[in-house]
Structure 1
Amino acid sequence: MAEGNTPKDVAVRYIESFASGDPETVAANVTEDFVNNQSGALGKGCETRAVYRERLKGFLGAFEGLQYEVKDVIEDGNKVAITYQMRANSDGHSIDIPGVMVIDVRDGLVAERQDYWDGLTFLQQTKQA
């Protein structure tokens, strides 16, 4: 696999693309048949790039200045696990939430992701719990 296009590179590039705030930029990193699994109690998964792109509009709009700080990356074949710290402003509240994504890479794009994040911390930081 060419340098810059290893599964690790693809996964990190995908996570970093959220800082663009642009649904098209983020969606360009996933396959047409992308599967987005959300393990957080507050998350909702979806399938296909087209549906994901539409969902991203609301997600990115709700998290001003969204950035994922990559902490640790573990690569095993086409599967990559990344621990992260998600930071943004949501409805006037600063949020700082830990999480883990497990990403499957196929043909240089993200084919599936499993996102594990702390919904209770989100609710506490946004004064909803």
Structure 2
Amino acid sequence: MSAAEHSGPDELVTEFCRAWADPDPATIAGFFTEDAVFHNIPMEPIRGRAAIEEYVAGFTASFGGIEYRIHHQAVSGDIVLNERTDVFTMNGRTVELPVTGVFEIRDGRIAALRDYFDPTPLTAGS
């Protein structure tokens, strides 16, 4: 199912989160608008679908898939908020990262994504 074929913002975000389990950079980037902004708040924002695809390719190269465990998800119009735990393996250890994501949806795609998290679990023990 392509990103544009989802019935609404809630389903789009849920499917986006599932796609990270076996991440294909082009597939993940396809959920975004051409002019999207992906901002992991502790870092600099990534602008544009092509740059997002490049970021995903580099980010997942060292550990592969991420399991997004969604705990709560709320929708208000074209805004989706989700509270989740992102679980992945880095350097032989499992890292569980609490995240709150704010998704802005436009024309069936993600126009903006802001993920708020404390990066400490990513760097602990490295």
Tell me the TM-score normalized by structure 1: 0.87
How far residue 26 of structure 1 moved from its aligned partner, in angstroms, is 0.6
One-letter code aligned to 2:10: K
SS of 2:44's equivalent in the other structure is coil
Unaligned runs of 5+ in 2: none
SS of 1:65's equivalent in the other structure is coil
Q: 2 CA distance for matches of 1:5 and 1:34?
A: 20
Q: Who is 1:99 aligned against? A: 99
One-letter code aligned to 2:82: I
One-letter code aligned to 2:62: A
Q: 2 CA distance for matches of 1:92 and 1:8?
A: 33
Conserved? CA contact 2:97–2:121, under 8 Å: yes
Tell me if 1:53 matches 2:39.
no
Alignment of 1:20-39 (within 5 A): 20-39=22-41
Identity %: 25
Larger deviation, residues 16-25 vs 75-84 = 16-25
How far residue 66 of structure 1 moved from its aligned partner, in angstroms, is 1.4
Q: Who is 2:70 aligned against? A: 70
Post-superposition CA distance 1:4-28 (Å, at most 9, x none): 4211111111121111221011111
One-letter code aligned to 1:18: W
Computed over aligned residues only, the root mean square deviation of the Cα atoms, in angstroms, reads: 1.5
Q: How many aligned residue pairs are there?
A: 122
Q: 1 CA distance for matches of 2:98 and 2:47?
A: 24
SS of 1:64's equivalent in the other structure is coil
Q: 1 CA distance for matches of 2:28 and 2:9?
A: 16
Q: Who is 2:121 aligned against? A: 121
Q: 1 CA distance for matches of 2:24 and 2:84?
A: 20
Q: 2 CA distance for matches of 1:77 and 1:83?
A: 18
Q: 2 CA distance for matches of 1:105 and 1:69?
A: 21
Tell me if 1:109 matches 2:105.
no
How far residue 106 of structure 1 moved from its aligned partner, in angstroms, is 0.7
How far residue 65 of structure 1 moved from its aligned partner, in angstroms, is 3.2
